[in-house]
Amino acid sequence: MEPIIIANWKMHKSQDETRAFIEALKPLLGSKKAWIAPPFTAIQEAVKAAQNAKIVIGAQNMHDAPQGAFTGQISSSMLKALGAQFVLIGHSECRHVFCESEDLIHRKLVRALEEKITPVLCIGEKLEERETDQTADVLRRQLTSALEGISDLQDLIVAYEPVWAIGTGKVASPEMAQEAHMICRKILAELSSEKIAAKIPILYGGSVNPKNIAGLLAQPDIEGALVGGASLDVNSYSQLIRTP
């Protein structure tokens, strides 16, 4: 399976910058596929620019209700109407900076699946949790609370992003990431079946760059990467995608 390399642009890039990035990316793609999550305001422009290219556009978050009096929020059907095909759910910044609860993350995940937008469920431990040997417990709690009661996990992507590695330049070693991915796969098998768990792509995120990606992708349970900083520059993002 070709690795899935998702660009998470966070609060970066205007519509014009998005269009220019995608136009520059197209000739650099070769036969590879790109996955980009621009800010809400640039999704439509990104979808338009990505037409006739192997570029999938998604969103960075969504609300859990189909519609209603939720000032400032965006629903899954609005994203779908714009052409978004995947959505990040439970990103560490949403959990820890915007205080999204595990229950809310579960409801968002259910809504995304109902809407048929592929959820990319982000999980990961904080530094103090790793240092006190709680990583496996945190991963189990986050996966179980998000996925409990969901019978069909076929259209799911998981991103393991240790909080201490996000935006810090401190990447997990390939071995450390592989160990966490193996734990995630085992928990996913318990929540569904070994057959389904084997097919769920588990991406690594946290300070991925063109220098360290090859070692990560060489691990048996790492099927791609969720990339922030290094995805903002078209040359560095295309290098990540073209890493064999």
Query: Contact positions toward ligand PGA, by CB under 6 A?
Result: 8, 161, 166-167, 205-208, 226-230
- Closer to ligand PGA by CB, 18 or 207: give it: 207
- Give the active site residue among 129, 161, 181, 223: 161
Residue 232 neighbours by CB distance under 10 Å: 17
At closest approach, how far in Å is the CB of 43 from ligand PGA?
17
CA–CA separation, 172 and 207 (whole Å): 8
Return the number of the residue (77 or 209) whose C-beta is nearest ligand PGA.
Answer: 209
Helix, strand, coil abundance in the chain, percent, nearest 5: 45, 15, 40
Q: Which of 91, 93, 100, 223 is catalytic?
A: 91
- Which residue from 185, 205, 204 is spatially nearest to 194, judged by alpha carbons? 185
The answer to whether the CB of 108 falls within 8 A of the CB of 64 is yes
Closest CA to 142 of 127, 162, 128: 162
Give the Cα separation of 210 and 231 in Å (integer): 10
Find the shortest distance in angstroms from Cβ 24 to ligand PGA: 20
CB of 92 to ligand PGA, least distance (A): 6
> Which residue, 94 or 191, is less far from ligand PGA as judged by CB?
94
**In the annotation, is 131 catalytic?**
no
Helices (H) and strands (E) in the chain, counts: 11, 8
Q: Indicate if 106 belongs to the active site.
A: no
What lies within 8 Å, CB to CB, of 231 at 6+ separation is 6, 7, 8, 9, 36, 237, 240
Minimum distance from CB of 163 to ligand PGA (Å)?
9
- Least distance in Å: CB of 207 to ligand PGA? 4
For residue 56, what are the β-bridge partners? 35
DSSP assignment letter at 89: E
| Nearer CB in complex with ligand PGA: 174/228 | 228
Q: How many Å separate Cα 153 from the centre of its chain?
A: 16
Give me 203's structure tokens. Answer: 């991406």
Closer residue to ligand PGA, CB minimum distance, 90 or 228: 228
Positions marked catalytic: 91, 161
